[in-house]
Structure 1
Amino acid sequence: MARFWVCLAGAGFFLGFLVLHSRLCGSPVLRKFAFQISWRTKEIPYRLDVDWPKHSEYFTGATFCVAIDSLSGLVYIAQRGDNIPKVLVFTEDGYFLRSWNYTVDTPHGIFAASTLHEQSVWITDVGSGSYGHTIKKYNSFGDLVQVLGTPGKKGTSLNPLQFDNPAELYVDDTGDIYIVDGDGGLNNRLIKLSQDFMMLWLHGERGTGPAKFNIPHSVTLDSSGRVWVADRGNKRIQVFDKDTGEWLGAWDNCFTEEGPSSVRFTPDGKYVIVAQLNLSRLLLAAAPPVGSIGNCSVISTIQLADQVLPHLLDVSGKTGAIYVAEIGAKQVQKYVPMNSYFPSFGS
């Protein structure tokens, strides 16, 4: 019996050492093993903030997308419906500030890009009206600043630029713009534009091979200079070099049931957060080290109620909170990281 307890204590010490070493030293092999321990013990890394927002009655349509301006602490939500405000603005604490409805037809994706000198909100519009098939830039009060694309005309042209159901975009710190154009329709492409809207590189063909797409639905960047695209119809995430456009690899092993609809990173860059629309599920996966994409390794899942349908999500750069736009539930929900799991940015 004594030998049994000695062995058991030794095994516990060894596992504890692996977890501690992986967190402190960053060994990818040990880190993966530690993540599997966390997943198997069913640790929950986030909790639902049931008090966000303070007044949910402002959600009056199908909430398709959400964007966090961490610099100003604002949350922008775009919703669809007739005779309703298309854009709602809340604080990260959940207080409603204002709404606007100017020149927005049918919003699909939204992105907030702010500097110390400018606050801007970008919206992809997939409507068929005079404002449709465009990507529009607004200031924080809803004044239209810039229009990309040919208003009211879908197409494949790059000069002049045309879109057909542009799904989402991401603006990096230099002002360069990454666009996934292809929530159905004519195009299945990833476009990189400079801050003055010059074409820098393009992947633009429908297919299943590397750098080809079937409904590219969401795009984001990591801190290592890699572009991540939720290739929803192909049930995978594809990764590219942001400077050259070179294809770096793909994740498909996590998405056998359904493809990803949204992809974002936690502020520390250690985790990838993925939404799966029809499964009403969020995945938390380990971000790969620099120089290797590897395979997707799921650390934890957040199972939402049936028919919630998480469409697109965003993450606060300050708190690490996840905001999920749910088109089935017609709401946005906030998930707050647990201090015990994310000591660096938990709240």
Structure 2
Amino acid sequence: MRRIYTFFVFTLLLSSLVSCSRQKDSEIFLVAGSGKAGFKDGVGKEAELNKPIRLAPFGENTIVLADINNNAIRSVSLDGSVRTICGGPDKSGYMDGPAEEAKLNAPHGVAYDKQTGKIYVAEAGNHIIRMLTPIDKNHSEYEISTLAGVAGQAGFRDGPADSALFMSPHGLVLFGSDSIIIADIGNARIRLLHKGVVSTLAGSGAIGTKDGTPLEASFKYPMDIVRFSSDILIADAGTHLIRKLDLGNTVSTVNLQDTLSTPHGITVDGNGKIYIADMGTNRILAVDKAGSLHIKAGTGKNKNSTDILNKPAAVLVHSGYLWIADLNNHQIKAIKLAD
């Protein structure tokens, strides 16, 4: 009898430990940010951000982000360390050159090419695409240049990159070795920068939800984009929809079993699971293959605490974690994903 009881207790204990382990896999935790708007490098709560709005992979256990209200590009590591790569609140404007002297205006989208070490930035305030090129072997120093668009001039024009026009470009994603796809929110279009030439991939410029051939389709606020196998997923914050661009063929609406409210960020994991930063409900949602939505993080309230999100702006799967840009809490948070 004693042996049976001991085995029973051991089984319960083991079950409890497994349960706790599983729970920790989905617990949200603070990576960096004091919770108040500011600008300071440091570690964990000592660091200060001001509306982190977009994320990209940047080495093992490290991300690069657009800190929009600080007009800065910064890196954040899983240990909480924050480092400014370019820009700052006293460097608002437009200036190319060495990163420590360069000026930016509302950087929004960010992407990283691990092969070259280059960082690409969609700069909403200047209506341009910028490129940060490492100038030392350790990739600790950069030089910034303008890759496409005319600084300070909003509009719509395809053609050579140095004369093409954008209107508040937001999300962007690398596609292949020499192509960048851009969510041009002000023009309600998806644009392509390829070998020095800008063209339109999708969007007629009309505001709406029309599916169909890419250049006949319509969007409202194409906010963020992510590569999904050979397709592109688009988070349209204005129509509260996720759209899919099958390159060269069609734009369709992703069938979800529930509604969204201002989807502001989107990412996918290696298994094709989609994660959405649903800003209007202060939640991070996971989408299964059937289109069902599951709450991954957030309570729907907007108070400042570790497990409560306040306008989540971006999500990123990287190094086994789901990273979250908690916009109005001025913090980066993360969730360890199950293996």
**So what's the TM-score if we normalise by structure 1?**
0.71
Question: CA contact under 8 A between 2:127 and 2:152: conserved in structure 1?
Answer: yes
Gaps (5+ residues) in structure 1? 1-41, 288-294
- What's 1:277 paired with? 279
- What's 1:170 paired with? 173
Q: Would you say 1:233 and 2:234 are equivalent positions? A: no
User: How far did 1:304 drift?
Assistant: 4.7
User: How far did 1:61 drift?
Assistant: 1.6
Post-superposition CA distance 1:52-110 (Å, at most 9, x none): 5742332242222222124x5532122234xx571222334333344421221111221
Question: CA contact under 8 A between 2:31 and 2:332: conserved in structure 1?
Answer: no
- What's 1:286 paired with? 288
- What's 2:296 paired with? 301
- What's 1:209 paired with? 210
- What's 1:264 paired with? 267
Post-superposition CA distance 1:248-294 (Å, at most 9, x none): 5212545535131111101x23310011112110111124xxxxxxx
Give the whole-Å Cα distance in 2 for the aligned partners of 1:108 and 1:85. 9
**Within 5 A, what are the aligned runs for 1:92-171?**
92-101=78-87, 102-115=102-115, 118-127=116-125, 132-140=126-134, 141-159=141-159, 160-171=163-174
Give the whole-Å Cα distance in 1 for the aligned partners of 2:25 and 2:223. 26
Give the whole-Å Cα distance in 1 for the aligned partners of 2:27 and 2:176. 30
Give the whole-Å Cα distance in 2 for the aligned partners of 1:262 and 1:137. 22
- What's 2:214 paired with? none
Question: CA contact under 8 A between 2:31 and 2:333: conserved in structure 1?
Answer: no
Give the whole-Å Cα distance in 2 for the aligned partners of 1:98 and 1:233. 31
Change (3 A) 1:87 1:305: farther
- The total of aligned residue pairs comes to 273
Question: CA contact under 8 A between 1:109 and 1:312: conserved in structure 2?
Answer: no
- What's 1:91 paired with? 77
Q: Which runs of 4+ in 1 moved over 6 A?
A: none
Give the whole-Å Cα distance in 2 for the aligned partners of 1:109 and 1:284. 22
Change (3 A) 1:271 1:44: farther
Change (3 A) 1:76 1:215: same
Q: Which residue of 57, 60, 66 corresponds with 2:55? A: 66
Gaps (5+ residues) in structure 2? 1-21, 34-42, 88-101, 135-140, 212-216, 303-309
Give the whole-Å Cα distance in 1 for the aligned partners of 2:311 and 2:104. 23
- What's 1:46 paired with? 26
Question: What's the secondary structure of 1:328's corresponding residue?
Answer: helix
Q: Once structures 1 and 2 are overlaid, which stretch shifts more, 148-157 or 135-144?
A: 135-144
Q: Which amino acid aligns with 1:165?
A: S
Give the whole-Å Cα distance in 1 for the aligned partners of 2:151 and 2:71. 21
Q: By percentage of residues, which structure has more strand?
A: 2
Output the aligned Cα RMSD.
2.5
Q: Which amino acid aligns with 2:316?
A: D
Q: Once structures 1 and 2 are overlaid, which stretch shifts more, 225-234 or 42-51?
A: 42-51
User: How far did 1:332 drift?
Assistant: 1.3
Give the whole-Å Cα distance in 2 for the aligned partners of 1:190 and 1:112. 19
Q: Which amino acid aligns with 1:222?
A: F
Question: CA contact under 8 A between 1:189 and 1:204: conserved in structure 2?
Answer: yes
Question: CA contact under 8 A between 1:67 and 1:313: conserved in structure 2?
Answer: no
**Within 5 A, what are the aligned runs for 1:176-195?**
176-182=179-185, 185=186, 187-195=187-195
**So what's the TM-score if we normalise by structure 2?**
0.72
Q: Which amino acid aligns with 1:296?
A: G
Give the whole-Å Cα distance in 1 for the aligned partners of 2:285 and 2:44. 28
- What's 2:250 paired with? 247
Change (3 A) 1:256 1:174: same
Question: CA contact under 8 A between 2:30 and 2:332: conserved in structure 1?
Answer: no
Change (3 A) 1:233 1:98: closer
